[in-house]
């Protein structure tokens, strides 16, 4: 292990250290408990020890008592689990390269080597990455930010607060956050354009007020947030939906695609024409991911249905949103949904006797007859987590991506006229997503050109989810997704 990597491990983020210490403990044959930072066997022998460690690359891999297909499996090991290789043998009968492995709990058995990947392959990349960070003078933090007794929390909003939508949901969480005993006050600047100079000016305005924790709530605020973090090192920043961090700046987002998939189940059952309209803002990875999750839900219950996407090139534009909604209805869509900040498209559905699915907030009040449900946000769990860790002195520039399990995203109540078996399906699938027994992006997944993007049995990684640049089969769009960002950590704006 290089001196640079060892230094970063000794001073770096606890979660990085814990993972590597666990791997080293496993490689050393001591699975009973993970090594602590003080006990971690960081030294010249680390690389040799890690050569024995492999990660499982398929969803479920049989662990057998002997190297033979004739033996019933002892159990299955899951994708992403680390195993220590002890010995290998090739079976001419089974035509399988068997590997004798040990799990972290000490259990041993045999698995097919075809579905193992040595972690050693990544060590050169890790060394290079840590070296790069060191060359920048330590852009990854070495210690948590000091505890803050009284928080003064500022928010930069991309739109007006209003009474529904993206900014409204953020402001609902802000108001709840203000009730915490260690939060002295909250401030916000609304309707800030995604212009670097204007965004930085809005941030500076909050800093001038004395705010010591600032949330910036749109993807286009990413670079100004990082610039402000360098300019104001004593202020803590959290950017919603981006992927860049600094010593005093982290990111947060929600797995809204989970709620989108559930909404797709509803749309697939509700459509009579098999034409579903989707009005969206920009073809960036986050929006593409949501469209794909929604379409996978639609096609799960109705393989003949298609999702037609029209683009507005704005997050907030009631006029153009309405025009695109009208265009979709004229094309035969009888269910509409959105990736926009206003209920304009739902109101189009209401006026034409169609059905619709809202986004950000429960939009039933704006289209009571049309609304089937809405994919909704609850930002409070994330905001409260950040505030509590900063108050306690445990804050680090994490990249948080929470979902149904943590209560950050969900589905609003279903319309009462939907069939009971659909409600049952939605509830069952929601529970399965939460407990991890169901994965939305599990292969086989095919794109609109018929190319297999994810083979059968594979589960898409977070890195691939965050850089998604293709549409799944069933999506119709005249525009292609934007190229994926080079950095694949974190998330993007809603």
Do residues 367 and 306 share a domain? Answer: yes
How much is the pLDDT for 229? Answer: 96
Answer yes or no: is 435 within a domain. Answer: yes
Report yes or no: 224 and 242 within 8 Å, Cβ to Cβ: no
Do residues 303 and 166 share a domain? Answer: no
Band (25; pLDDT cuts 50, 70, 90):
low
**High-pLDDT (> 70) share of the chain, %:** 82
**Using omega within 30 degrees of 0 as the cis cutoff, is the peptide bond preceding 256 cis?**
no
Do residues 157 and 264 share a domain? Answer: no
Do residues 458 and 363 share a domain? Answer: yes
Q: Among 108-117, 237-246, 422-431, which range has the highest average pLDDT?
A: 422-431
Answer yes or no: is 483 within a domain. Answer: no
How much is the pLDDT for 61? Answer: 85
Which residue has better confidence, 4 or 478?
478
* Burial class for 298, CB neighbours closer than 10 Å (0-12, 13-18, 19+): buried
Do residues 364 and 391 share a domain? Answer: no
Report yes or no: 361 and 374 within 8 Å, Cβ to Cβ: yes
| pLDDT at residue 253 tops 90 | yes
Q: Return phi, psi of residue 210, to 5°.
A: 100, 10
How much is the pLDDT for 106? Answer: 86
Q: Are strands 409-411 and 371-377 parallel, antiparallel or unpaired?
A: antiparallel
Band (104; pLDDT cuts 50, 70, 90):
confident
* Alpha-carbon span 353 to 58, nearest angstrom: 46
How much is the pLDDT for 35? Answer: 38
Which residue has better confidence, 388 or 30?
388
How much is the pLDDT for 464? Answer: 87
pLDDT, tens digit, for every residue of 444-481? 999 999 999 999 989 998 888 988 999 999 999 999 99
Do residues 304 and 398 share a domain? Answer: no
| pLDDT at residue 13 tops 70 | no
Q: In what order do the strands lie in the sheet with 475-477?
A: 409-411, 371-377, 355-360, 335-339, 275-280, 306-311, 475-477
* Alpha-carbon span 51 to 138, nearest angstrom: 28
Q: Identify the helix (H) or strand (E) that includes residue 56.
A: strand 53-56
Band (93; pLDDT cuts 50, 70, 90):
confident
Nearest to 277 by CA among 309, 318, 311: 309
Do residues 361 and 455 share a domain? Answer: yes
* Alpha-carbon span 262 to 429, nearest angstrom: 8
* Burial class for 304, CB neighbours closer than 10 Å (0-12, 13-18, 19+): exposed
Average pLDDT estimate for 217-239: 96
| pLDDT at residue 141 tops 70 | no
* Alpha-carbon span 195 to 186, nearest angstrom: 23
Answer yes or no: is 143 within a domain. Answer: no
Do residues 330 and 424 share a domain? Answer: yes
* Alpha-carbon span 63 to 108, nearest angstrom: 8
Specify the 3-state DSSP secondary structure of 61: strand
Do residues 110 and 212 share a domain? Answer: no
Answer yes or no: is 486 within a domain. Answer: no
197: Cα within 13 Å, side-chain hemisphere:
0
Answer yes or no: is 142 within a domain. Answer: no
The structure tokens 């409260």 sit at 384
Nearest to 112 by CA among 122, 92, 126, 98: 98
Band (77; pLDDT cuts 50, 70, 90):
confident
Distant-in-sequence, close-in-space partners of 240: CB < 8 Å, separation ≥ 6: 170, 215, 216, 217, 218, 251, 252, 253, 493, 494
Band (120; pLDDT cuts 50, 70, 90):
low
DSSP string, 93-157: TTTEEEEEEE-TTS-EEEEEGGGEEEGGGGHHHHHHHHHHHHHTT--S-SSPPPP-SSEEEEEE-
8-12: long-range contacts, CB 8 A cutoff, minimum separation 24 = 8/130, 8/133, 8/134, 8/140, 9/40, 9/42, 10/37, 10/42, 11/142, 11/143, 12/140, 12/142
Q: Return phi, psi of residue 124, to 5°.
A: -65, -40
Answer yes or no: is 338 within a domain. Answer: yes
* Alpha-carbon span 6 to 407, nearest angstrom: 37
Segment among 27-31, 91-95, 269-273 with least mean pLDDT = 27-31
**Which of 70, 104, 135 finishes a domain?**
135
Segment among 82-86, 338-342, 344-348, 377-381 with least mean pLDDT = 82-86
Average pLDDT estimate for 97-119: 88
Tell me how many domains the chain contains. 3
How much is the pLDDT for 10? Answer: 42
Which residue has better confidence, 15 or 59?
59
* Alpha-carbon span 292 to 476, nearest angstrom: 11
| pLDDT at residue 356 tops 80 | yes
Mean pLDDT of the chain: 86
pLDDT, tens digit, for every residue of 367-426? 999 999 999 999 999 999 999 999 999 999 988 999 999 999 999 999 999 999 999 999
Answer yes or no: is 146 within a domain. Answer: no
Do residues 250 and 262 share a domain? Answer: no
How much is the pLDDT for 78? Answer: 78
Nearest to 465 by CA among 260, 315, 268: 260
Give the range of the structural domain holding residue 331, as residue numbers without chain letter.
Answer: 257-376+409-477
Average pLDDT estimate for 8-25: 46
Do residues 180 and 303 share a domain? Answer: no
Q: Return phi, psi of residue 119, to 5°.
A: -70, -20
Which residue has better confidence, 49 or 330?
330
Q: Are strands 53-56 and 116-118 parallel, antiparallel or unpaired?
A: antiparallel
Q: Identify the helix (H) or strand (E) that includes residue 352.
A: helix 344-352
Average pLDDT estimate for 22-51: 47
The structure tokens 């993206």 sit at 166
Average pLDDT estimate for 138-158: 79
Q: Which two tokens stand for residue 150?
A: 């009284």
How much is the pLDDT for 46? Answer: 53
CATH code (residue 344): 3.40.50.2300
436: Cα within 13 Å, side-chain hemisphere:
5
Do residues 311 and 413 share a domain? Answer: yes
Answer yes or no: is 372 within a domain. Answer: yes
CATH code (residue 49): 2.30.30.40
**Which of 105, 135, 165 finishes a domain?**
135
**Which of 104, 135, 166 finishes a domain?**
135
């Amino acid at each position: 292990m290089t001196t640079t990597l060892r230094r970063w491990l000794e001073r770096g983020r606890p979660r990085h250290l814990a993972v590597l210490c666990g791997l080293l403990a496993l490689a050393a044959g001591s699975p009973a408990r993970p090594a602590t930072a003080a006990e971690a066997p960081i030294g010249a022998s680390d690389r040799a020890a890690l050569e024995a460690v492999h990660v499982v690359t398929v969803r479920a891999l049989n662990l057998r008592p002997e190297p033979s297909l004739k033996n019933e499996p002892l159990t299955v090991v899951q994708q992403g689990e680390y195993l220590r290789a002890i010995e290998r043998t090739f079976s001419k009968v089974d035509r399988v390269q068997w590997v004798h492995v040990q799990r972290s709990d000490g259990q041993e058995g045999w698995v097919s080597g075809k579905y193992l990947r040595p972690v050693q392959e990544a060590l050169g990349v890790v060394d290079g990455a840590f070296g790069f960070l060191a060359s920048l003078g330590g852009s990854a933090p070495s210690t948590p930010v000091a505890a803050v007794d009284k928080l003064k929390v500022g928010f930069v909003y991309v739109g007006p607060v209003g009474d529904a939508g993206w900014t409204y949901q953020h402001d609902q969480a802000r108001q709840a956050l203000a009730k915490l005993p260690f939060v002295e006050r909250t401030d916000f600047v609304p309707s800030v354009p995604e212009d670097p100079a204007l965004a930085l000016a809005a941030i500076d305005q909050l800093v001038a007020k004395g705010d010591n924790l600032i949330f910036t709530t749109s993807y286009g605020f990413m670079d100004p947030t990082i610039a402000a973090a360098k300019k104001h090192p004593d202020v803590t920043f959290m950017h919603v939906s981006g992927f860049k961090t600094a010593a005093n700046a982290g990111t947060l987002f929600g797995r809204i695609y989970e709620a989108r998939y559930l909404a797709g189940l509803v749309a697939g059952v509700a459509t009579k024409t098999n034409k579903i309209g989707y009005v969206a803002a920009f073809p960036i990875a986050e929006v593409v991911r949501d469209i794909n999750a929604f379409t996978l839900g639609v096609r799960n219950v109705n393989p003949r249905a298609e999702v037609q996407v029209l683009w507005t090139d704005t997050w907030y534009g009631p006029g153009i949103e309405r025009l695109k909604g009208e265009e979709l209805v004229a094309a035969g869509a009888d269910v509409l949904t959105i990736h926009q900040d206003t209920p304009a498209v739902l109101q189009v559905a209401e006026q034409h006797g169609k059905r619709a699915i809202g986004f950000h907030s429960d939009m039933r009040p704006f289209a009571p007859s049309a609304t089937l449900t809405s994919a909704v946000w609850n930002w409070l769990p994330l905001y409260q987590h950040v505030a509590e860790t900063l108050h306690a002195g445990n804050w680090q520039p994490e990249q948080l991506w929470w979902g149904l399990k943590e209560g950050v995203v969900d589905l609003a109540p279903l319309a009462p006229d939907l069939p009971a078996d659909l409600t049952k399906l939605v509830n069952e699938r929601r529970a399965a997503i939460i407990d991890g027994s169901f994965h939305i992006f599990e292969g086989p997944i095919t794109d609109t050109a018929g190319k297999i993007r994810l083979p059968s049995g594979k589960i898409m990684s977070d890195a691939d989810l965050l850089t998604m640049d293709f549409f799944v089969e069933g999506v119709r769009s005249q525009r292609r997704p934007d190229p994926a960002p080079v950095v694949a950590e974190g998330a993007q704006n809603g």
